[in-house]
Structure 1
């Protein structure tokens, strides 16, 4: 009787198990089916171009020549020893760090002002509309607007009673475009930090006030610790975004005069579409990608730490 019972027992146990496996496989295939369009787009629009650019960086006479030549790391040595590339790195660092610090300071200041009870509801709404105004303009509009304001016969020179060429002066051009970028970018910080301020429990400030903490002490011991996750995320995102700023620089100074506003983005663009040296442009693009990936790594790491 054992040979008859054993097969039946195995069938009873194995049946549900096979059903569970079949349902799990079906759900897995359905998940991949829903993800398939996105994965295909990522492959075609992101992965394939990146792989092609990386391949171009190890070759010479690409795109314009049917028979490109493999040169190994020679392109990287050429770029890393080029004074133009080193100058672009320096300008990008100055432009990026100054912009991010100013975005944080202005954004936090205006956010705290709009969150203050000292301002009435109507003035607060008016100030909020004024402060967020730069965020409503595209890069092209901002560039045209500030080129007219900073022109030798523009409003700024009229108010200062000068005839300075702000965007054409080697001494003032980098500072001018940095100021324009600060003006255009602080609303992003302001809105995000304002939302964070409104999410801080009032009980924390009340408890600190009862303990005798001053306004400055409450700011550094209550406000900043509560906003720290938001601040870190905003700073990392802004570092990535600002370091790759192209449209604003190109439409205001084009990287000039005398390359004093040359950024990594404009340097790479000129290599490709002014000098038509797509191999060196690809090499520069790969180096910029690596720098961006380092900052993205810290951002992802910070987000995981928050979870």
Structure 2
């Protein structure tokens, strides 16, 4: 090979091979597209979380001119507080009953809408009626049920006519019934999400499985336990974990119906934290309570991500 040919070959390799600066630019292009989202996450999530964690380790933040580092003192005070334990117990009761009822109602209504024994017109009408609560905002749901459960409302009128109750009952102001009433409202407003998701799962189950089981002599109950539930298990687990996360952070519905009362009977972690900050102006304690709620939510989110990974 001549000297000229060697020089041309070397020049060609330099032209074809991308420069170091171009490789760096190509590597940074994806991050440039992600930068607006990353900046928003940093400003709206990361920085506030870091600030709240910092406030939880200080005393008299915001309300005093000088704050001092007290370590885990706020956490000890919150965890040993009787109001916090009451809010935690109410939250557990509220979440457990709501999630179980959402699952059972959603599964029952989904199977009804998926049944071939119901005509198409009837399924369409029921589908519209069943999904209606999910279309309403939390504010409308709270106002609607406050009117229905009013002493002069429809619920008292119907139950009085049936002889179940006597007089005008204050459902949301009765310490013995308020938490159950709020839980019922949350169940009514949340079951359509389960219903729609399970209905989609039912429609994705191959009919060949049911036909083969019927040929083998399996009855409806046997087909439900051996085919329907195993096929729906991933959907039910995912939806249940999501519902636990959402229900445990429910604030607007409780605040607009009972405000955490009466006598703290409907106090949950979200309303407890809100009152600490904006009623008692204990921003340090509220920050510690918020961090505890964040840790619990992260634990639930971890299990949800694990369930999704197993499903995939």
| TM-score between the two structures when normalised by the length of structure 1 | 0.94
Name the Cα RMSD after superposition.
2.0
Q: Do structure 1's residue 102 and structure 2's residue 101 form an aligned pair?
A: yes
In 2: Cα distance, 1:216 partner to 1:280 partner: 52
In 2: Cα distance, 1:194 partner to 1:153 partner: 38
The Cα shift of 1:23 comes to 5.5
Gap change, CA 1:14 and 1:278, over 3 Å in 2:
farther
The Cα shift of 1:296 comes to 0.2
More deviation in 258-267 or 23-32? Answer: 23-32
Q: Do structure 1's residue 201 and structure 2's residue 189 form an aligned pair?
A: no
Q: Deviations over 1:133-166 (max 9, x none)?
A: 1011111110111111111111111111132211
Q: Which residue of 2 aligns with 1:111?
A: 110
Q: Please identify runs of 4+ aligned residues in structure 1 that moved more than 6 A.
A: none
| TM-score between the two structures when normalised by the length of structure 2 | 0.93
The Cα shift of 1:26 comes to 3.0
Q: Do structure 1's residue 126 and structure 2's residue 131 form an aligned pair?
A: no
Q: Which residue of 2 aligns with 1:25?
A: 24
Q: Deviations over 1:274-307 (max 9, x none)?
A: 0111000000000000000000000011111122
Q: Deviations over 1:191-224 (max 9, x none)?
A: 0110111111111111111111111111111111
In 2: Cα distance, 1:208 partner to 1:57 partner: 59
In 2: Cα distance, 1:305 partner to 1:16 partner: 47
The Cα shift of 1:65 comes to 2.2
- The gaps in structure 1 that reach 5 residues or longer are none
- The gaps in structure 2 that reach 5 residues or longer are 161-165
In 2: Cα distance, 1:37 partner to 1:102 partner: 40
Counterpart of 1:281 (choices 283, 286, 297) is 286
Matches within 5 A, 1:150-189: 150-161=149-160, 162=166, 163-189=168-194
Gap change, CA 1:13 and 1:237, over 3 Å in 2:
farther
In 2: Cα distance, 1:236 partner to 1:173 partner: 25
In 1: Cα distance, 2:15 partner to 2:221 partner: 66
More deviation in 203-212 or 235-244? Answer: 203-212
Q: Which residue of 2 aligns with 1:260?
A: 265
Q: Do structure 1's residue 192 and structure 2's residue 194 form an aligned pair?
A: no
More deviation in 156-165 or 183-192? Answer: 156-165
Q: Which residue of 2 aligns with 1:50?
A: 49
SS in 1 for 2:113: helix
The Cα shift of 1:104 comes to 0.1
Q: Which residue of 1 aligns with 2:72?
A: 73
Gap change, CA 1:207 and 1:281, over 3 Å in 2:
same
Q: Which residue of 2 aligns with 1:270?
A: 275
In 2: Cα distance, 1:165 partner to 1:114 partner: 36
The Cα shift of 1:19 comes to 2.3
The Cα shift of 1:28 comes to 1.9
